[in-house]
Amino acid sequence: MIDDRVVFEGDTTTGHFIVTDTIYAGRPARVLYSGNHHAAQSGEATDDKPELLFDYNERFMELVRGLRPQRVLLIGGGAFALPKALNREFPRIKLDVVEIDGKLYELAQTYFDYKPTRRTHIYIEDGLKFLQTTTEQYDLIIVDAFTNDSVPPSLQTTTTASLAAHHLRSGGVAAMNLIAAYYGERSAALQRQLDAFKAAFSTIDVYPAGHGQSLWLPQNFIVIAQNGTRNLQPHLRYAALSHE
């Protein structure tokens, strides 16, 4: 086991960040934290296991493996662990990554060895503004943007959901990672996203990112929206949760 070792600490335009070599989820890892070392934003394991460090990233990878998209938009880069994994496993995917904080992209390059491929384009821009101005169409849009442990409010609106739907090709899918409880008072963020997606999509499903945690407790969920009834269940490790 290794002791926690801080390799970077400093402020960016969006907050205070720490990069630490540590043990995370039982694995040696390099992790990007925001705030006062409380909210893990992104990171990667430094062992030789194939699974990504964060379970929600594994769910996104499962989705990509099942859908086989040609063009993907990712809003939120963090330490760029997901873009790095996508570039490695799917080098032919055209990937656009939108990250509002240019310093985080620098940290990803310096401390997480991220090198985008020639088919990957990085945009240092607000996610909503990108959706408002781009003319591109995508097979899959992933939203994985956080301020500490919350999705920015501007990305949880009916406007953003409608823009995402507008920029999806026929049969395309939108997916968002968020932290909330499934039941009770702490489910507000999840319900807010369900309401937003319902304004623009005909089919919405909620998948747990991990397994075994009480649904009354905050945890990562993947909310997936589409216009149509394409069965995504075979692609994801855990079953969708029922909701109204």
**CA gap 103, 124 in Å, rounded:** 9
pLDDT digits (tens, 9 = 90+) for 71-128: 999 999 999 999 999 999 999 999 999 999 999 999 999 999 999 999 999 999 999 9
Report the Cα–Cα distance between both ends of the chain, in Å, rounded. Answer: 45
pLDDT of res. 1: 39
* pLDDT (mean) for 36-46: 85
Predicted TM-score (pTM) of this structure: 0.95
Best CA proximity match to 113, nearest among 142, 144, 88: 88
pLDDT digits (tens, 9 = 90+) for 163-184: 999 999 999 999 999 999 999 9
**CA gap 238, 244 in Å, rounded:** 19
Q: According to DSSP H, which parts of 94-185 are helical?
A: 102-111, 127-133, 158-166
Answer yes or no: are the C-beta atoms of 99 and 170 closer than 8 Å: no
Answer yes or no: are the C-beta atoms of 45 and 58 closer than 8 Å: no
